[in-house]
Every structure is written in C-alpha cells, then in structure tokens.
Amino acid sequence: MAAYGLYTHIASNKFRSIVLLAVLFAQVYLMVYAGALLGEALSYGGAPLDYYLVAAARDLIKALPYATAGTALWILIAYFFHQSIVDAVTGGESVTRQQQPRLYNLLENLCISRGLAMPKLKIIESDALNAYATGLNRRQYSVTVTTGLLNALNDQEIEAVLGHELTHIRNGDVQMMVIAVIIAGVVGFFAELFFRSFTNFGYYGGYRGSWSSSSSSSDNNRRSSGGAPLIVIIIALLLIALAWLFSQLVRLALSRSREFLADAGSVELTKNPDAMISALRKIENRGELPGATSAVMELCLDNPREGFADLFATHPSVESRVAALVKYAGGRDPGPLPLPSEARLGPDDQPAEEIPWRKGPWDGDSPEGDARNAARADAPPSDASKGQDPASGPPLGPPLGPWDNPPGPWGRHR
C-alpha cells in the first residue's frame, strides 16, 4: 500500500499492522504443528519422515479449534484486564483535575482543540522521564506520565508529549500494539513451554522409561528410517524458534515507524516542533522504568533498551526522530539537553547559587560600583535621606521626584 503523505502513511501502517497480526495468529498454529511433530516423534520412533509430517498435520487439524479458542480466550482476558496488568507492573494510578490541574488542563485543551474524547489520566511515581498510552476502545483509553517527566519538562514540552500519545490513540497504534504484545505473548509462552518440556523430557513422569524402552527397542527401525525421528525433532525445534523470533520481529516492526508518525502528529496538534524536539532531548536515555517488562517499554514514548546492533530496538533513535522533525517540520535541534537539576550544578558539582557571578557596573563590590558609591557618599544628604545609614538605608542622592521609584509600604524599593 503506497503512502504519499501523513494520512496515507497512517492508513498504510494500519493495513500492514492488520496483516502482521494475522501472521501472528499463524504463528500460534505453527507452534501447534511443531508440538505435534514433537509428540509424534517421541511417541513412535520407527516411521519414515513423511509419516511424521502427515501425522502432525492431522494432529494440527484436530487441535485447530482448541488453539483458536485458547488464543481468543487469552485476547479476551487481555481486552478487559490489560490496563490493570500494565498498572500493576508500572505502579500507575489514576488522577483527577484536582490532583493534577496542570497536566489535566493541558491534556483537556488538546482534546478539545481536535474534538477528541478525553482519555483517563494516570501518574507513575518515578524519576524516569517517560509516558505511554493504552486502551482498546474509547472507554479504556488512558495516558500515563511519570512524575519525573512533570518535574523536568515545561508546559510546552509536556503538551508535545501528550500530543504524541494522543496521536497514538488517534492513529489506532495503541490497539495494534496491545494486540501484538498479547499474541506475541502467547507465542512466547508456548515456545518456552515447549522448550522446557523438551529439556525436561526423560526426567519426569513416565516418559523416561517409555523413551528409554522405545530407544532400545527401535534402534533397527531408526537405522532403517534414516534417523527420521531425530530429524523431525530438529525441525520442530527450529519451527518453534522461528515462530518466537518472528513474533518478536513483528512487534518491533509495529512500533518503529509509528513513533515518527506520532511525533509528526504531536507537531500537528501543538504547532510547536521545537517543543517536541526539546522534550525528546530531555527524555533521551532517561526513560527506563524500573521493574517494567520489555512489552510495557515498547508502549512508551522512548525505549532506552536497545537491541543488538539496533536490530531489536523497538523505537527509532532520538537522533533520527529529531532529524526527521528538523527536516520535515522545520524544528531546531538544540542538541543533548541537561535537566534543570543538572543545569543548576556548577563545575565542581556545586549548586550554581554558590558560584560567584561576575560583578556588573551596578554591583557594590565591582570597581565601577565602588566609584559610584564613593561619589554618592560625597554628595550632600537630601531631606529624604537624612538620618539614614548609608550602609543599610536607601541609596544616597538627590531628592526623589514624583515619578521616581520611592520606597514601598514595606520599606522596599519597587
């Protein structure tokens, strides 16, 4: 499906996501077929290779309704409880306007400006800088941000982050990612189950004796069949490994291009590409959520968990995302940015307030200020300044006029 602009890219990604999800369902059936191959090879060791392939296909047809029902049940559970599962992992808690008026108002203004339904708002008590959106329908949509993000970003940058997450909701990315994670979880679960069962085979239950007797009694059959059972076992293990690997690659393919679209959607909502760029620069390498699983990190604005040679990274790098915003949205890249807490530290990790600043011409301890104060001290005192201590009272000089800056009611100059 060709893409010529932002909206066609969105439609193209949705179409490809549906295709990829359909392939993920096929991975479940592939896992079942691999399991049938293992079962046939371990239960009967004297047949040729084609027998095992045909027998496993018959087993797959018999197990197909159960595999489909099991996967559907898994999805049904996740449909109703995925938000609770994610919140349990990350510690997210719902907040109201009274609890977070700043964040609530920013999100509400964005929703009103585009006629979007207001999602639920959640907060994670964490120093990490990150955010994510979840939900499978309008009643479930929610946007979650960390307290570290609220403390480190200004209003424009937080608005850009919220626009990014709202774009994920608008584009249908959230539904696709949740479903992909769920189905990939099914594949991973069965892959691990099969590998554990095969690893433990021969040590638990009655399989050890039956396998030993089968091995001893059918050596001649194995030789005559050319070692077909061993070949079948190897094929089954390869199919399981490929199914698991492909499910992981499909999950990654669903997320990488969507981040570019979500960044562009945020700029479309806020009309402020610089805010999105500066938010990404501040979040860069500071988004790790302690205790969060890899599946949850894939939903986040930034996933600092990089894969081998960037092959398994679920998000594009911040550099590439910023470069796209500079090229296509006209933003300006300030480069890596320190957080406000980091910016307040001096060269020796001392607070900046304790670092002596350069004195200006109006400061009393500078040469220019000393000369000015000496000249004012030699001037005759005015009526307004009689009885004042030059060291602690108001500056000496000519009488104050009606438009000058007289002392305020609390003795301070306005």
| Nearest alpha-carbon partner for 40 in 56, 24, 16 | 56
Tell me how far apart the alpha carbons of residues 235 and 40 are, in angstroms, rounded to a whole number. Answer: 12
Q: Tell me whether residue 268 is exposed, middle or buried, using C-beta atoms within 10 angstroms of its C-beta: 0 to 12, 13 to 18, 19 or more.
A: middle
Mean pLDDT check: name the lowest of 66-70, 132-136, 137-141: 66-70
Stretch 384-408: mean pLDDT: 45
Q: Are 86 and 141 in contact (CB under 8 A)?
A: no
Q: Is 306 a catalytic residue?
A: no
Strand pairing class (93-94; 142-146): unpaired
Stretch 66-76: mean pLDDT: 80
pLDDT tier, 310 (very low <50, low <70, confident <90, very high otherwise): low
| Nearest alpha-carbon partner for 377 in 390, 364, 394 | 390
Of 40, 157, 159, 165, which one is the catalytic site residue? 165
In angstroms, how far is the first alpha carbon of the chain from the final one? 66
- The residue among 183 and 99 whose pLDDT is bigger is 99
| Nearest alpha-carbon partner for 282 in 376, 141, 151 | 151
Question: Which pLDDT score is estimated for 35?
Answer: 85
24-42 pLDDT, tens digit per residue, is: 778 888 888 988 888 888 8
Residue 65 structure tokens: 């309704």
Tell me how far apart the alpha carbons of residues 33 and 59 are, in angstroms, rounded to a whole number. Answer: 8
Other Cβ atoms closer than 10 A to 206: 7
Mean pLDDT check: name the lowest of 198-202, 285-289, 382-386: 382-386
81-109 pLDDT, tens digit per residue, is: 888 888 888 899 999 999 999 999 999 99
Q: What does the DSSP 8-state code read for residue 413?
A: B
Q: 143 - beta bridge partners?
A: 121, 133
Identify residue 104 by its one-letter amino acid code: Y
Question: Which pLDDT score is estimated for 361?
Answer: 41
Return the domain boundaries, the chain.
353-383
